Amino acid sequence: MILGHAQEEVVEAITQAAARGTSYGAPTEAESRLAEQIIEAVPSIEKVRLVNSGTEATMSALRVARGATGRNKVIKFSGNYHGHVDSLLVAAGSAAATLGAPDSPGVTPGAAADTIVLSYNDVSGLQNAFAQQGDEIAAVILEPVVGNMGCVVPTMEFLQTMRDLTSQHGSILIFDEVMTGFRVAFGGAQERFGITPDMTTLGKIVGGGMPLGAYGGRKDIMDQVLPAGKVFQAGTLSGNPVAVAAGSTTLDILKKSPPYEALEKMGERLAAGLSSAASDAGIPHTVARVGSMMTLFFNPDPVTCWDQADRCDRDAFGRYFWGLIGEGVYMPCSQFEALFFSRLHDEAIIDETIDAARKTLAAF
């Protein structure tokens, strides 16, 4: 909720849309307008499809990538979460990691057989996978800044290597920007890092708090989707007029008055404050941050991949979380979820948060 909850203009747009009708089972002008806003904002997206969630976006993007390349295998990274898509619910982050079910029961060996799991930021792992089976790899999907094993920042070498290898081998590079899209920059992590993937998935901010996701990319790839091509994807409620109204208005506001510089400044302030609170309490920690997305890891070493995230002191995180609740601050409820804040979190609120963390950590 980058604009905060119940933002006036967003609520007004939702109300007006709902008063006209909540579902038509057909495309609308408003849906096309949101598509145009997305295309204008996100460098990799020349054509886009709206769906109902981040999960649908990644599921559909994979199908299109496989259909477009005629290949089956997909590379994902441990600790990255792409929704509850069967083939991606392997070594998953987020709640799956927190609750000890990174490979969910109910996912058949067949559904996961074509998923290759590599370690995040591991350049040689990528090189080996492509050297061994590059011509069978349909796609590489990743969170270009991870939010789902806590905030983990990619190295430029990692991103550039995967861009080069996927191009050389005719594989499709998919940035899952469900979290980072319109968050770490208006055009997402791809704008921030200057690396353009072939396809992108979106959710969360793009729906302004309503159930909406999107996937898109290069025109020639998206032209594989029915009716232009043969890859099937459809949805009764996709492009839902109420969700589109919320998303479209949110993007209008973000474009008209970009909050990104302010978010960066507040992010810097919060990260420095949390880190000094932990240092003063003598607690081994590391903070990772990109813009308004960050994590205080109860881990003395930098967290660059899942194996390192897994070494965090989960009990310490639990005490930190509940201590902050006692102080009236609601942090993400897992070490493996990044923290976000909105443009309404001003200096006073950020400082209150730091004070609450300081009190909590001092009492450890």
90 Cβ partners below 8 Å, 6+ apart? Answer: 76, 102, 103, 107, 112, 115, 117
Q: How many CB atoms lie within 10 A of CB 270?
A: 24
CA distances from 286 to 254, 309, 312 (A): 31, 11, 10
* Shortest distance in whole angstroms from residue 57 CB to ligand PMP: 7
* Shortest distance in whole angstroms from residue 206 CB to ligand PMP: 10
Q: Does 55 bind ligand PMP (CB under 6 A)?
A: yes
* Shortest distance in whole angstroms from residue 240 CB to ligand PMP: 14
Using CB atoms within 10 A of its CB, is residue 100 exposed (0-12), middle (13-18) or buried (19+)?
A: exposed
Q: Does 176 bind ligand PMP (CB under 6 A)?
A: yes
The residue within the footprint of ligand PMP, chosen from 69, 87, 115, 148 (CB under 6 A), is 148
The residue within the footprint of ligand PMP, chosen from 54, 102, 144, 332 (CB under 6 A), is 54
Counting residues that bind ligand PMP (by CB under 6 A) gives: 16
Which is closer to ligand PMP, CB of 51 or CB of 357?
A: 51
Instruction: Select from 13-21, 117-125, 143-151, 355-363 the region that touches ligand PMP (CB under 6 A).
Output: 143-151
The residue within the footprint of ligand PMP, chosen from 34, 179, 205, 287 (CB under 6 A), is 179
Matching residue, tokens 């353009």 = 196
Known active-site residue 204: yes
Among residues 47, 73, 76, 81, the one annotated as catalytic is: 81
The residue within the footprint of ligand PMP, chosen from 83, 208, 217, 239 (CB under 6 A), is 83
CA distance 228 to 66: 16
The 3-state secondary structure of 305-344, one letter per residue: CHHHHCCCCHHHHHHHHHHHHHCCCCCCCCCCCCEECCCC
The residue within the footprint of ligand PMP, chosen from 7, 37, 44, 58 (CB under 6 A), is 58
Please tell me whether residue 201 adopts helix, strand or coil conformation. Answer: strand
70: left (phi over 0), alpha (psi -120 to 50) or beta: left
Q: Does 60 bind ligand PMP (CB under 6 A)?
A: no
Strands 172-176 and 137-142: parallel
Among residues 73, 76, 120, 176, the one annotated as catalytic is: 176
CA distance 79 to 117: 10
Q: Does 143 bind ligand PMP (CB under 6 A)?
A: yes
Known active-site residue 260: no
CA angle 10, 295, 102 (to 5 degrees): 90
As annotated, the active-site residues are 81, 176, 204
Question: Which residues in this chain contact ligand PMP in the complex, by CB under 6 A?
Answer: 53-55, 58, 81-83, 94, 143, 147-148, 176, 178-179, 203, 213
